[in-house]
Amino acid sequence: MVEFNEARFQEECAAIDSAVVKTGLPFDILPGGVLLQRDITAPRMQEGLKGWQASPGDRVQWAWEAYTLGGSLLTSGADEFDVERGAVPRAFHEAAKSLGHDVGADVWSPSVSAFGVRGVPEEIPPFTPVRLHVRQTRSVEDTAWWGAVQRGVLDEAFWLENAVQSMKGQGRPVKVTEGVWAQMHSEHSKPREVDETVLLRIRTTTLDGSMKRETQMEWQVGTQDQLVPALEQALASVPTAQTLTVWCTSSMAFGRDGSPEAGIAPHTPLQFEVEMAQ
């Protein structure tokens, strides 16, 4: 059985070598019989991510499509995993360590390093070598991001956009303006009238969970300078909102210097959960 498995592995590797050579593109040889071809298009970079490459323990996100060596689409998926720790195929881990943020690649893998002897029922047959077309991004759940944001090394708006677009659950946040995102959860039958007085219940949190506070206040609809800019703009953009969540950069809340008395450090993106009571 060992000889049979080794023979199958060598046969699959030979087929991969032949397919890769036909592309005419350069490739890297990785452990497990995996070959890696990076996209030739330049990745989008931010100052805090130049030169970053995933290391063991870093958390990354993969959007991927699996093809046969002949180019037929088998299936697709999305995974978020800790490099060398997550429960994904070995090919994912080996390739992740050679890729940075927001970069694409083709990952050619024998079955033993991909979906193995079982494959994926009704999608990938057993013992199938594959080409994975992937795009890797650094997960917003990677705690190293937060330190870079608060040091001012990584642009807050860039980080926040990645964060809100990666959030799971019903609905999708909508970009209100640069540095402000909102998602409405419930609404009134008609818009609030200008100068109408409503009671706002606001729960403010930092995105790393280090600070939470709840406040309530009376607000005359449309009145300027009673709320931080992010809330003013978000509420104006959804005038029927009853409950909504707003995410914003520090410049659209308490300023880049934060609010020490409220426990908000400089360069701290915030989340506001807002309820407009009767």
Taking phi first (over 0 means left), then psi (-120 to 50 degrees means alpha), and beta for anything else, what does residue 116 get?
left
175 residue type, one letter: K
The H-or-E segment that residue 96 falls in is helix 90-96
For range 234-263, the mean pLDDT: 88
Q: How confident is the model at residue 1, as a pLDDT?
A: 41
> Which of 63-77, 81-95, 136-150 bottoms out in mean pLDDT, i.e. has the lowest?
136-150
One DSSP character per residue, 58-78 reads -EEEEEEEEE-TTS-EEEEEE
| Main-chain dihedrals φ then ψ at residue 27, nearest 5 degrees | -150, 160
| Residue that is written with structure tokens 């009673």 in the block | 226
DSSP code of 267?
S
Per-residue pLDDT band for 41 (boundaries 50, 70, 90) equals low
Q: How confident is the model at residue 211, as a pLDDT?
A: 83
Confidence (pTM): 0.63
pLDDT digits (tens, 9 = 90+) for 170-183: 567 889 999 999 99
Residue 136 has pLDDT above 50, yes or no: yes
Of the CATH numbers 3.10.50.40, 3.40.50.1820, 3.40.190.10, 3.10.400.10, which one belongs to the domain with range 166-277? 3.10.50.40
The count of other CB atoms within 10 Å of the CB of residue 228 is 20
**CA–centroid distance for 60 within its chain:** 8
> Which of 26-40, 187-201, 228-242 bottoms out in mean pLDDT, i.e. has the lowest?
187-201
How many residues are present in the chain? 278
One DSSP character per residue, 137-149 reads EE-TT-HHHHHHH
| Cβ atoms of 40 and 25 closer than 8 Å | yes
Torsion of CA 150, 154, 160, 166, to 10 degrees: -120
CATH 3.10.50.40 maps onto the chain at: 2-139, 166-277
As a whole number of Å, the end-to-end CA separation of the chain is 73
At 32 the three-state DSSP class reads helix
- Pick the closest to residue 209 from 263, 151, 155 (CA basis): 263
Fold type of domain 2-139: Chitinase A; domain 3 (3.10.50)
pLDDT digits (tens, 9 = 90+) for 88-131: 999 999 999 999 888 899 999 999 999 998 899 999 999 999 99
